[in-house]
Amino acid sequence: LAVPGCGKKETVKVGIEQNFRPFTYMENGEKKGFEVELWQAVAKKADIPYELVPMEHGELIKSVKSGGVDLAIAGMTVSNARKNNFDYSSPYFQTGLVVLTSTDNGVIKGKDDLTQKVVATKNGSTAFNYAGEIQGAKIRSYSNIADVYTELKNNTVDAAIFDERNAHDFLKDKAQGQVKMVGEAFNKERYAVVAKKRNKYIGKVNKGLEAVSKDGTYEAMYTKWFGS
Instruction: Report whether 38 contacts 221 (CB < 8 A).
Output: yes
Determine contact, residues 205/193, Cβ cutoff 8 Å: yes
Residues 107-126 that bind ligand GLN (CB under 6 A): 122, 125-126
Please give the Cα distance from 157 to 145 (Å, whole number): 14
Find all residues with CB under 8 Å of 194, minimum gap 6, and list them: 64, 71, 72, 73, 76, 82, 86, 87, 88, 89
Establish if 201 lies at the interface with ligand GLN (CB under 6 A).
Answer: no
Of 20, 88, 92, 130, the residue at the interface with ligand GLN (CB under 6 A) is 20
Shorter beta-carbon distance to ligand GLN: residue 16 or 114:
16
Cα–Cα distance for residue pair 100/168, rounded to 1 Å: 10
77 binds ligand GLN (CB under 6 A): yes
Question: Does residue 101 touch ligand GLN according to CB under 6 A?
Answer: no
Q: Shortest Cβ distance from residue 20 to ligand GLN (Å)?
A: 4
Which residues ranging from 142 to 181 are in contact with ligand GLN (CB under 6 A)?
A: 163
Helix (H) or strand (E) holding 12, with range, is: strand 12-17
Figure out which of the listed residues 12, 14, 16, 17 binds ligand GLN, where binding follows CB under 6 A: 17
Strands (E) across 64-106 are located at 71-72, 86-88, 93-102
Q: Which stretch binds ligand GLN (CB under 6 A): 26-34, 75-83, 149-157, 219-227?
A: 75-83
Residues that bind ligand GLN (CB under 6 A): 17, 20, 57, 74-77, 122, 125-126, 163, 189
